[in-house]
Amino acid sequence: MESTESSYVSSPEQPQKRSPPPPASPPSDSEEKPTYTRFLVSNAAAGSVIGKGGATITDFQSQSGARIQLSRNYEFFPGTSDRIIMVSGGIDDVLKAVELIIAKLLSEIPAEDGDEAEPRMRVRLVVPNSACGSIIGKGGSIIKSFIEESHAGIKISPLDTKFFGLTDRLVTVTGTLEEQMHAIDLILSKLTDDPHYSQTMHAPFSYAAAYNSMNHGPNGAAVKFQHNKDDITNSVTIGVADEHIGLVVGRGGRNIMEISQTSGARLKISDRGDFMSGTTDRKITITGSQRAIRAAEDMIMQKVSYASERETD
């Protein structure tokens, strides 16, 4: 049976639940504009945000009034093995949802004995390169003011040129929950006024599957896009524990068909009892270009590794 986590990608639209602002401080134009933010989470953390049967993500949407979407469990941000969360709605709703998600993840960080310090984690926002200038400012003036005001660490990565066509950069925010939320509020308020930013709202994960099919090897390792010799048909056989074959195949063969269609590789699973030599692992033969084989291997390992994580919980 396929896990809820692997199939639950986006919860339905929730009705907006905005509290009326105090009369003394009417909402600004930016608060009325629809906006969004995207940030990265590990596969395990994504499961925590979704919750059993989607209960947590549904609750967060209900509390905040924002919409929360996740890329699928084999769709990573290029160059990482992390999934993408997109939160959209009014700016207040988006900030509330982000705070609920970060607080949830922080609550699951194990505390060291005798350590009374507030738990910290880094939040990596995904921002279009075309909009980064609005939060950097001339000579870095705006980002410096954000750091001084929020007391959070804010660092903008250079654009990763290894991935052809990638136009997003990562903005890493570190600090306590209060510091991070203050910084994210400042960043998002600035981005919402940038016309370049709103243009990317309609396609939150457009590159995720494509880049993992083309540019990732097993375990999420980045691989440079190659044209030479990559279209030559090859064949690779890997072993998967017999008890996990069902996860690779999926209900009615759905998973294996999805892996084949997304990667472009052909997959063949050995019959029951036909194991890799000296093991009880079933054989999966993957045929296609080097790029297709890498993509298929990665998707298979993601499904198997997620199952292993659940077994050890």
Amino acid 309: pLDDT:
53
Report CA Rg, the chain: 21
In CATH, which superfamily holds the domain spanning 232-307? K Homology domain, type 1 (3.30.1370.10)
CA distance 41 to 46: 6
Amino acid 93: pLDDT:
95
H or E element that contains 292: helix 290-312
Q: Which of 100, 158, 123, 108 is nearest to 40 (CA)?
A: 123
Asked if 249 contacts 255 with a C-beta cutoff of 8 angstroms, the reply is: yes
The CATH T-level fold of domain 33-106+118-197 is TATA-Binding Protein (3.30.310)
pLDDT in tens, the chain (313 residues): 434 343 334 444 444 444 444 444 444 444 467 899 999 998 888 888 998 888 999 999 999 999 999 887 777 888 787 889 999 999 999 999 999 999 999 888 766 545 566 667 889 999 988 899 999 999 999 999 999 999 999 999 988 777 766 788 999 999 999 999 999 999 999 999 988 787 766 654 555 444 443 333 333 333 333 334 445 678 888 888 888 888 888 888 888 888 888 888 889 998 888 888 778 888 899 888 888 888 888 888 877 776 555 554 5
H or E element that contains 140: none
Q: Which of 72, 80, 85, 77 is nearest to 222 (CA)?
A: 80
CA distance 220 to 44: 14
3-state secondary structure of 85: strand
Task: Name the token pair of 187.
Answer: 């960043």
Q: Are strands 67-70 and 121-128 parallel, antiparallel or unpaired?
A: unpaired
Residue type, 132: C
Q: Distance from first CA to last CA of the chain, Å, rounded?
A: 18
Asked if 149 contacts 112 with a C-beta cutoff of 8 angstroms, the reply is: no
Same fold, 33-106+118-197 and 232-307: no
Question: Whole-model pTM?
Answer: 0.59
Q: Where are the domains of the chain?
A: 33-106+118-197, 232-307
Asked if 296 contacts 236 with a C-beta cutoff of 8 angstroms, the reply is: no
DSSP state of 216: B
Length of the chain: 313
